[in-house]
Amino acid sequence: MKDKHLKIDWSGRAHQYSNKDINYLTNIIKYADPLTQGKYLKEFEKNFSNYIKKKNVFAVSSAAAALEIIAILLNLRKGDEVIIPAHTYCASAIPFARNGAKLIWADIDFKTRVIDINDVKKKITKRTKAIVIVHLYGYTVNFTSIKKLCKKKDIKIIEDCAQSIGSNLNGKKSGTMGDFSCYSFHAQKNITTLGEGGMIYVRENKLAQKVAGLRHNGHIDFKHKRKQYWLPAMGNLDLDIKNQWPFKFTLSEVQCGAGIVMLRKLDSLNKIRIQRAKKIINSLKNFKELNFNEEFKGTRHVYHLLSAYYKPFKNINRDDLIELLYRKFKIKCAVQYYPLYRYDLFKKMGIKKINCKNTEHFYDNMISFPFHVWMSNKNFNYLIKSLKYCLQILRNKHLQRKLNI
């Protein structure tokens, strides 16, 4: 429920559609026939394929749906292990657990706040089937050092690009360097297809041929040529995967239309995010207690979220900063992401906790600032001014306590 008294809320939508966008979508609503699985789906997939410069892309109902399909294509068997960062959204993990994998938690690198590749190397065993590389917060993980090892051991690399669409590593777009990838068009992502949506990329052609059936109830053409289009039925149902039922993971034509218009704007929207993020980071550089994740040579951060580590003083911590911003300036921040092994669901399913000290320490001291791209310049400057004030207040309070004033 929205708090009407807030000056800057944590928005549930990352974008506002222009009148031109709305007119385009209105025409689809009025005239598209069919309203699903039609020409706009094909156009959206084609445009996305051109954007990432890869074939075998398929629009689906969410990134979670994409990961569900990927988990099925892995052909997981009892005892197979999938390495996943403990610091990520739950949808990065659930599809693999649901399909029988044993989840192995990997820690994050404290400077980048994404999966620590050195920790991943330590956790690879003869049972490792796949590694999920989550490009969290919009930051592209550099996993080049494990690609040869994974190829040698036939370990599949899955890129979770739910938050990183448009980011790249040494000129290669996130999602194009592994065996599989998923993208999210959820309401809060860098682009959205009217609230929900996703895309899947599959490198291997043979596996890619199975996706269309998996996402649409197994609908395919009959193999034999038919004299009458309605016999023996209007269409066939089949799936070239043993003991596997298909799903209904499709996008409507209107959603695909939204994807088409948003994809055209993606790079310009990401540019705004990057410029604003750097302005905040530079404006707060004198407050060493607030640390933003580091960018290294060859990486590009598209700042899906703007998160930071607040180094606690004695008796002053992250919660004090969030409370002060909320109480005095009516700014709502967020805390992300609860270490997955702390959730009751994962505990009840028998997935063991493991010591991920960077994950623990970062989560307990992190803060995520409101950062929707349509925030007015007035509110954006108000956010910076308020942050400076609150950080200084807490710093002064610490000094007063230290001097026993």
Segment 252-300, tens digit of pLDDT:
999 999 999 999 999 999 999 999 999 999 999 999 999 998 888 878 8
Domain boundary among 218, 246, 263: 263
Domain boundary among 263, 292, 327: 263
340 with 383, same domain: the answer is yes
Q: What is the pLDDT of residues 317-367, one digit of tens each?
A: 999 999 999 999 999 999 999 999 999 999 999 988 788 999 999 999 999
Residue 53: partners with Cβ closer than 8 Å, 6 or more residues away = 173, 176
247 with 359, same domain: the answer is no
* Owning domain of residue 244: 19-263
Q: What is the pLDDT of residues 138-160, one digit of tens each?
A: 999 999 999 999 999 999 999 99
- The per-residue pLDDT for 77 is 94
218 with 136, same domain: the answer is yes
Residue type, 135: H
Six-digit token string for 324: 């002060």
Tell me: cis bond preceding 326? Omega within 30 of 0 counts.
Answer: no
189 with 91, same domain: the answer is yes
- The per-residue pLDDT for 301 is 93
Domain boundary among 207, 233, 263: 263
279 with 360, same domain: the answer is yes
Q: What is the pLDDT of residues 374-397, one digit of tens each?
A: 999 999 999 999 999 999 999 998
Which pTM does this prediction carry? 0.95
User: Is 250 in contact with 215 (CB distance < 8 Å)?
Assistant: yes
Average pLDDT over residues 38-64: 98
Cα 85 to Cα 83: distance, rounded to the nearest angstrom: 7
- Is residue 18 scored above 60 in pLDDT? yes
Residue among 389, 275, 339 at smallest CA distance from 88: 339
Q: Which one is predicted more confidently, 401 or 119?
A: 119
